[in-house]
């Protein structure tokens, strides 16, 4: 018969081993996915909010008429903060369009797209394209709508965007 | 059963110890899940709230911009509500379907104009935001968040004052300065029309005499076609008289007659030459014996006195009433005179101390003397000095008016060998440009922009449009 005190020590050793296994299992299948998910959502949220704020600001500045195209080209990248990254492939484009319902129908004009960051996402306006005007709503004659659209991508966060269902990038639109 | 020999038997049986991990995990998850829920739902709610607030801000701005699409406050309100609601819907189209914004409808947008001619579009409402994670627990519902937004702007009245004197037609082979001016001034008007940034725009054209081509009130949408049509009719007159003081007074007279004290009242002056002419009442100043070509008994004996320093010429008394955009009354004698080609020092004893608009020619008015002038010495220099003083006083009176203070922007064009460029000291002074040595902090600050050639005119007009819109926003 094993001395009782030795049996207790052996059981203690087994307990330690099983705690490690439990911790590993719980950590691997519960905590790590949770943390990764949180990080994914968080990073996506931050980038999306930055892009949304930049897009809204761009639209507001454009619609106010207080800044011309050249000034917007200079100011928006400066206002983009960390979105205006110098890392290769990280960046996007802001497209500013103006749609007017004239007595002869809809017309639209578009500024030269404003590049944010170092390359990255490109895209076309969904509202103002060559030969096609797609007004955001039925506008009364004489009304003008100003539209800001932003495409943004960061390859390092591509998996984040993909997990968030944003097709590897962010698209924001604001109508003024 | 009580364990009497803890040193011999283990304190806790093995099967009970293994259950503690499950208990701890459940307890831990009980803490962790709400934390994660808070992190995800909190962030999500914050983003949704941000998006709805941005959409509401955009809606009131668009509604505010649409106000001039209708004439009366009832139609304006209906228009603003439609436009604002459409804009709000467009900006919230990609929101989560669980967001309940039924409280934000067209009637949530209100339009109000106060006695100071400030128009405000405001909106209030609430939205119930869904919880993605914690919402799965039936007892927990999303927050109902209040929203509000408003956008105000002053009613804005603009008088465009455009110089189309002879040198504006210089060098037609390569395109005249007037051609460029007409294109850029048209863009200026269109810019306001597209943004509904101005309530009224009027037009004064001038050479030796001003002509009010578009009087105020001239509201949107009328001003877009009728002002641009008149701009397109402008032609260089062939005469080089530049009666800027009279043009400034005529433009300010329109703002004064419109009488909107709370509005932003703006004069945008374009000139490419030295102000060298003014309109005076010369009654009592005709020498005796009177010359045959002017009736000294006429009262008022109003006429134009002009100088052309480039050619060292001066003359008078020309007619002072322009009958059309391209009329050149200075080519006719004043009503009491038979000709305008005589040298005035041969029949005038002195120049009047003010022009017919009440602007001082010698600094005895509201502005101190700008240029030294001898009213009894009538030559090209003194006529120019008197005309510059008159312009200085006209601008000072317009800016300094207690009830209708005007904000003045000036564009001066250089690079024309057919003209002496605008006075680089007087132009910032009449605009009350903060960069001017004579800047007056008690009067509205404007700006003088010198365009060294026609290529810079477009940017000058665009810059002024931008500043007017900025001043109108509240």
Transcribe chain A into DSSP letters: ---HHHHHHHHHHHHHHHHHHHHHHHIIIIIHHHHHHHHHHHHHHHHHHHHHHHHHHHHHHHHHT-S-HHHHHHHHHHHTGGGS--STT-EEEEEEEEEEEETTEEEEEEPPPEEEESS------SSEETTEE--SS-PPTT-EEEEEEEEEE-GGGHHHHHHTTSTTSEEEEEE-
CA-to-CA separations, A32 to A23, A24, A35, A38, B25, in angstroms, rounded: 11, 10, 5, 10, 15
What is the sign, positive or negative, of the torsion defined by CA atoms of B56, B58, B62, B64?
Answer: positive
**Poorest-confidence range of B34-43, B148-157, B288-297?**
B288-297
**Poorest-confidence range of A146-155, B23-32, B203-212, B381-390?**
B23-32
Taking alpha carbons only, the member of A167, A159, A175, A170 closest to residue A46 is A170
Residues B206 and B336 both lie in one domain? yes
Residue B447: give its domain's CATH number.
3.40.50.410
**For residue B66, what is the nearest residue in chain A, using CA coordinates?**
A143
Residues B270 and B383 both lie in one domain? yes
pLDDT digits (tens, 9 = 90+) for B393-433: 999 999 999 999 999 999 999 988 888 899 999 999 999 99
Answer with the one of B153, B174, B207 that is the final residue of a domain.
B153
The token pair at B286 is 């005709």
What is the sign, positive or negative, of the torsion defined by CA atoms of B316, B317, B320, B322?
Answer: negative
| Cβ-count burial A40-50 (b if 16+ within 10 Å, e if not) | bbebbbebbbb
Number of domains in chain B: 2
- The per-residue pLDDT for A36 is 82
- The per-residue pLDDT for B119 is 83
Residues B167 and B305 both lie in one domain? yes
Residues B146 and B163 both lie in one domain? no
* Residue partners of B13: CB distance under 8 A and separation at least 6: none
pLDDT digits (tens, 9 = 90+) for A4-43: 666 667 666 666 667 778 778 877 887 788 788 777 777 7
Helix (H) or strand (E) holding B269: strand B264-271
- The per-residue pLDDT for B11 is 54
CB B270 within 8 A of CB B293: no
User: Which structural domain range is residue B399 located in?
Assistant: 156-472
CB B351 within 8 A of CB B386: yes
CB atoms within 10 A of CB B129: 24
CA distance B401 to chain A (A): 27
- The per-residue pLDDT for B238 is 67
CB atoms within 10 A of CB A61: 20
Asked whether the predicted pLDDT for residue B333 surpasses 80, the reply is yes
Residues B140 and B180 both lie in one domain? no
Q: Is B82 on the interface with A (CB under 8 A)?
A: yes
Average pLDDT of span A46-65: 89
Answer with the one of B153, B175, B201 that is the final residue of a domain.
B153
Most confident of A12-21, A58-67, B330-339: A58-67
- The ipTM is 0.79
Q: Which of B18, B54, B196 sits opposite A174 (nearest CB)?
A: B54
- The per-residue pLDDT for B21 is 66
- The per-residue pLDDT for A163 is 53
- The per-residue pLDDT for B1 is 47
| B83–A66 C-beta distance less than 8 A | no
Average pLDDT of span B385-399: 97
Residues B130 and B169 both lie in one domain? no
Taking alpha carbons only, the member of B152, B402, B73 closest to residue B259 is B402
Q: How sure is the predictor about A75, in pLDDT bands with cuts at 50, 70 and 90?
A: very high
Question: Whole-angstrom Cα distance, residue B56 to residue B149?
Answer: 6
Share of chain B above pLDDT 90, in %: 51
CA distance B21 to chain A (A): 8
pLDDT digits (tens, 9 = 90+) for B100-143: 888 899 989 998 887 767 888 999 999 999 988 888 888 888 89
Sort B1 into a burial class: Cβ within 10 Å, 0-12 / 13-18 / 19+.
exposed
Interface test with B, best of A30, A31, A65 (most B CBs within 10 A): A65
Question: Whole-angstrom Cα distance, residue B425 to residue B436?
Answer: 8
Residues B237 and B147 both lie in one domain? no
Residues B257 and B246 both lie in one domain? yes
Domain ranges of chain A: 4-175
| A63–B65 C-beta distance less than 8 A | yes
- The per-residue pLDDT for B459 is 86
| Chain A residues with beta carbon closer than 8 angstroms to that of B87 | 136-137, 145, 175-176
Q: How many CB pairs below 8 Å do chains A and B form together?
A: 105
Answer with the one of B153, B187, B210 that is the final residue of a domain.
B153
CA-to-CA separations, B174 to A45, B166, B169, B411, in angstroms, rounded: 57, 16, 11, 22
What DSSP string runs through B301-345?
-EEEEEEETTTTEEEEEEP----STT--GGGSB-TTBS-S-S-GG
Residues B288 and B396 both lie in one domain? yes
Question: Whole-angstrom Cα distance, residue B367 to residue B357?
Answer: 14
Q: How sure is the predictor about B155, in pLDDT bands with cuts at 50, 70 and 90?
A: confident
| A63–B10 C-beta distance less than 8 A | no
Residues B367 and B404 both lie in one domain? yes
| Chain B residues with beta carbon closer than 8 angstroms to that of A60 | 57-58, 61
Residue B10 lies in a domain: no
| B197–A136 C-beta distance less than 8 A | no
Q: How sure is the predictor about B180, in pLDDT bands with cuts at 50, 70 and 90?
A: very high
Average pLDDT of span B71-100: 85
CA-to-CA separations, B25 to A13, A14, A16, B28, in angstroms, rounded: 22, 20, 17, 5
Helix (H) or strand (E) holding B177: helix B177-195
Residue B9 lies in a domain: no
CB B54 within 8 A of CB A52: yes
pTM above 0.95, yes or no: no
> Which backbone phi and psi does A63 adopt, to 5 degrees?
-70, -25
**For residue B15, what is the nearest residue in chain A, using CA coordinates?**
A15
Rg (CA), chain B: 35
Q: How sure is the predictor about B328, in pLDDT bands with cuts at 50, 70 and 90?
A: confident
pLDDT digits (tens, 9 = 90+) for B441-453: 999 999 999 999 9
If you ran DSSP here, which 8-state letter would residue B354 be given?
B
Asked whether the predicted pLDDT for residue B341 surpasses 80, the reply is no
Question: Whole-angstrom Cα distance, residue B193 to residue A17?
Answer: 78
Average pLDDT of span B11-20: 55
Q: Is B468 on the interface with A (CB under 8 A)?
A: no
CA-to-CA separations, B211 to B206, B251, B408, in angstroms, rounded: 6, 9, 19
Asked whether the predicted pLDDT for residue B33 surpasses 90, the reply is no
CA distance B453 to chain A (A): 20
| Cβ-count burial B348-384 (b if 16+ within 10 Å, e if not) | bebbbbbbbbebbbbbebbbebbbebebeebebbbbb
Residue B13 lies in a domain: no
Average pLDDT of span A66-74: 87
CB B315 within 8 A of CB B306: yes
Top pLDDT among A173 and B77 is at A173
Q: Which of B87, B94, B191 sits opposite A65 (nearest CB)?
A: B191
| Chain B residues with beta carbon closer than 8 angstroms to that of A65 | 191, 195, 197, 465-466, 469
Q: How sure is the predictor about B382, in pLDDT bands with cuts at 50, 70 and 90?
A: very high
Average pLDDT of span B79-96: 90
**For residue A48, what is the nearest residue in chain B, using CA coordinates?**
B47
Asked whether the predicted pLDDT for residue A108 surpasses 50, the reply is yes
Most confident of A30-39, B290-299, B354-363: B354-363
| Residues paired with residue B348 on neighbouring β-strands, in sequence order | B286
Question: Whole-angstrom Cα distance, residue B227 to residue B203?
Answer: 7
Rg (CA), chain A: 26
Helix (H) or strand (E) holding B60: helix B14-65
Question: Whole-angstrom Cα distance, residue B396 to residue B390?
Answer: 10
Residues B138 and B204 both lie in one domain? no
Residues B125 and B170 both lie in one domain? no
Question: Whole-angstrom Cα distance, residue A34 to residue A38?
Answer: 6
- The per-residue pLDDT for B204 is 98
Q: How sure is the predictor about A1, in pLDDT bands with cuts at 50, 70 and 90?
A: low
**For residue B8, what is the nearest residue in chain A, using CA coordinates?**
A4
pLDDT digits (tens, 9 = 90+) for A141-171: 778 899 999 999 887 766 665 655 555 688 8
If you ran DSSP here, which 8-state letter would residue B134 be given?
G
pLDDT digits (tens, 9 = 90+) for B182-227: 999 999 998 888 777 788 999 999 999 999 999 999 988 889 999 9
């Amino acid at each position: 018969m094993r001395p009782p005190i030795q049996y207790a020590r052996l059981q203690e050793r087994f307990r330690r081993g099983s705690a490690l296994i439990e911790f590993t299992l719980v950590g691997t299948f519960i905590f790590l996915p949770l943390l990764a998910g949180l990080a994914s959502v968080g990073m996506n949220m931050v980038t999306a909010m930055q892009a949304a704020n930049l897009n809204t600001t761009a639209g507001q500045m454009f619609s106010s008429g207080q800044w011309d195209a050249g000034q917007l080209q200079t100011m928006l990248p400066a206002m983009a903060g960390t979105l205006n990254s110098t890392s290769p492939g990280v960046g996007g484009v802001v497209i500013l369009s103006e749609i007017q319902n004239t007595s002869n129908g809809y017309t639209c004009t578009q500024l030269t797209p404003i590049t944010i960051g170092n390359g990255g996402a490109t895209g076309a306006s969904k509202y103002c394209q060559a030969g096609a005007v797609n007004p955001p709503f039925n506008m009364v004659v004489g009304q003008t709508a100003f539209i800001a659209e932003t495409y943004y991508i960061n390859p390092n966060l591509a998996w984040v965007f993909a997990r968030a269902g944003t097709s590897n990038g962010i698209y924001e639109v604001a109508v003024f | 059963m009580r364990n009497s020999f803890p040193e011999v038997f283990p304190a806790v049986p093995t099967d009970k110890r293994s259950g503690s991990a499950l208990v701890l995990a459940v307890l831990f998850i009980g803490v962790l899940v709400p934390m994660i829920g808070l992190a995800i739902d909190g962030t999500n709610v914050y983003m949704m709230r941000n998006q709805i607030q941005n959409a509401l801000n955009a809606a009131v701005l668009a509604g505010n911009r649409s106000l001039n699409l209708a004439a009366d406050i009832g139609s304006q309100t209906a228009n603003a509500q439609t436009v604002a609601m459409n804009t709000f819907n467009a900006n919230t189209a990609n929101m989560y379907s669980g967001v309940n914004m039924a409280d934000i409808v067209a009637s949530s947008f209100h339009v109000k104009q106060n006695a100071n001619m400030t128009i405000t579009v405001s909106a209030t409402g609430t939205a119930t935001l869904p919880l993605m994670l914690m919402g799965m627990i039936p007892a927990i519902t999303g927050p109902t968040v209040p929203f509000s937004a408003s956008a105000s702007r002053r009613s804005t009245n603009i008088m465009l004052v455009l110089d189309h004197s002879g040198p504006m037609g210089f060098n037609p082979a390569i395109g005249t300065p007037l051609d460029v001016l007409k294109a850029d001034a048209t863009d200026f008007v269109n810019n306001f029309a597209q943004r509904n940034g101005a309530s009224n725009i009027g037009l004064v054209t001038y050479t030796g005499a001003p002509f009010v081509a578009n009087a105020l009130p001239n509201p949107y949408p009328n001003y877009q076609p009728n002002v641009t049509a008149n701009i397109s009719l402008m032609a260089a007159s062939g005469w080089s008289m530049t009666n800027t003081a009279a043009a400034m007074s005529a433009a300010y007279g329109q703002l004064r007659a419109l009488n909107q004290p709370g509005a932003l009242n703006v004069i945008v002056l374009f000139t490419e030459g030295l102000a060298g002419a003014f309109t005076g009442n010369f009654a009592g100043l005709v020498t005796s014996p009177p010359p045959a070509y002017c009736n000294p008994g006429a009262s008022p004996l109003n006429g134009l006195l002009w100088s052309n320093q480039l050619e060292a010429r001066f003359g008078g008394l020309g007619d002072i009433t322009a009958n059309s955009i391209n009329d050149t009354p200075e080519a006719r004698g004043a009503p009491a005179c038979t000709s305008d080609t005589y040298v005035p020092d041969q029949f005038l004893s002195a120049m009047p101390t003010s022009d017919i608009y009440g602007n001082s020619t010698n600094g005895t008015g509201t502005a101190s003397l700008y240029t030294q002038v001898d009213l009894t010495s009538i030559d090209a220099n003194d006529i120019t000095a008197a005309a510059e003083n008159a312009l200085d006083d006209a601008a000072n009176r317009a800016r300094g008016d207690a009830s209708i203070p005007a904000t003045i922007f000036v564009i001066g064009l250089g690079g024309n060998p057919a003209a002496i460029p605008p006075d680089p000291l007087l132009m910032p002074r009449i605009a009350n440009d903060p960069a001017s040595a004579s800047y007056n902090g008690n009067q509205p600050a404007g700006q003088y922009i010198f365009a060294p050639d026609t290529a810079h005119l477009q940017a000058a007009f665009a810059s002024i449009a931008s500043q007017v819109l900025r001043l109108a926003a509240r």
